[in-house]
Amino acid sequence: MIRARRARIVATLGPASRDPARVRELAQAGADVFRVNFSHGSQADHARTIAAVRRAEAAVDRPLAVLADLQGPKIRLGEFADGVVRLKAGQDLRLDMKRTPGDASRIGVPHPEVFAALRTGAFVLLDDGKVKLRVVGHGPDYADTVVEAGDQLSDHKGVNLPNLSIPIPALTEKDRQDLAFALQEGVDWVALSFVQRASDMAELRKLVQGRAGVLAKIEKPAALESLDEILDLCEAIMVARGDLGVELAPEEVPVFQKKLVRAARLRGLPVIVATQMLESMTHSPTPTRAEASDVAGAVYEGADALMLSAETAAGDYPVEAVAMMDRIITRVEQDPRWPELMRAEYPVEDADADALVAAARKASESASTACIAAFTTTGQTALRLARERPLQPTLGLTPNLSTARRLALAWGVEPRVIPEIFDPEDLARIAVEQAVLTGLAPPGARVLILAGLPLGSPGAANILRLAHTPRR
């Protein structure tokens, strides 16, 4: 099942979509990666969900990736005596460590890290920014604030501290247990929430030990201050506009989105743009025109993948949301201006491998070239090629199923599992067979072959060959 588009679709699974039949429908509609959100549900739920993805993979006959999204250290309020409270602008409000139910004069925030990070004049945002507090005094276990924007609050709403780095571990005990479970279940990618510093990713990499790809969710402004160091330690990133949009002014979010997409593309890291892409389709069969433009904008920027959250996890129209995103992406990629925008935005490097990959992209521009066959063990050759944004599709041919599944996230790569190759003379035959089998190459078309010798050894691509499909 070949998709007529380069950008990929990530669909979040939840109560509305984790049934095996529905997962298969989502894959048939165009989903490439399935996100399992460990903020909700039990491990037993997640095990059934992952099994459903594996069954769907067999049904559509192409590799599908499972992305385990760890909850991370989400900071939340305590409880209220009446379950709810309304705050008014101008009133005083104390935050403290007490676990007794709160009221309109004080709220429990059982997180010492919050008070360690606070500064006089800093702002505290509650419930995704609906309530805004300004700190006028603080200590190790309390903060006196003035309400600048009031609203109704209920138990356990989220807390954000814009422009402050919170000394809190990136991986909670729950995350560690969920990570061990996810790796045992054979997930392909692991996403770390609320990354603030490079050491957060270093800790995740140490625990994963190469058993899955590691992905940094950029949703804290603090992460932007050490972005290069974070990118050094991850294999993909997600522009998580939900929490990022809480702590940044609305006009800043699209600027930072473009900055993050560009930074990932320069390094050849897959980048996902996420949150509220087709939000209205949670309860409507069609999106707003603004949402369609938002999806299109991310495609024009060159994002590797776009993600659906509530639209597929809890919405009334999960399959329709995936199909709509597929249609928008496909239409954008038919725009005559789209190819020029896909030109890679990075300086020419002297490395032989990158020069050869650049030559493959250049050679693929010939009208007679149908596709590029990239033979890869770890996936790096296919990812280097995706970095170049070749307009012809890339066949990512690998003997490793885990590699093929990870490549389901990569821009323009059609991953396929092949038998291990030992004789270099078999490269052309297998490349042509796969190009014909997938329907990417018609009779008499040219197939470019990119590979590295010795075969089966991880390393840089060092050969570029041409082959032709048989003429009828």
Instruction: Tell me which residues are annotated as active site.
Output: 35, 76, 217, 275
Q: Which residues contact 158 (CB under 8 A, 6 or more apart)?
A: 74, 75, 76, 77, 126, 127, 128
232 in Cβ contact with 198 (< 8 Å): yes
- Residue burial 156-178, b: 16+ Cβ < 10 Å; e: rest: ebbbbbbebebebebbbeebeeb
Runs of H (alpha helix) within 14-79: 20-29, 43-60
**Which residues, listed in sequence order, are joined to residue 159 by a DSSP beta bridge?**
126
Cα–Cα distance, 410 to 235 (Å, whole number): 11
Alpha carbon 327 to its chain centroid, in Å, reads 20
Cα–Cα distance, 341 to 79 (Å, whole number): 50
Q: Which of 178, 119, 166 is nearest to 144 (CA)?
A: 119
275 in Cβ contact with 294 (< 8 Å): no
First to last CA, the chain: 23
245 in Cβ contact with 277 (< 8 Å): no
Tell me the three state secondary structure of residue 94.
strand
DSSP state letter for 122 = -
| 61 CB-contact burial (10 Å; exposed 0-12 / middle 13-18 / buried 19+) | exposed
Count CA atoms closer than 13 A to 138's CA, side-chain side.
23
Tokens of 275: 């949150």
Cα–Cα distance, 211 to 189 (Å, whole number): 9
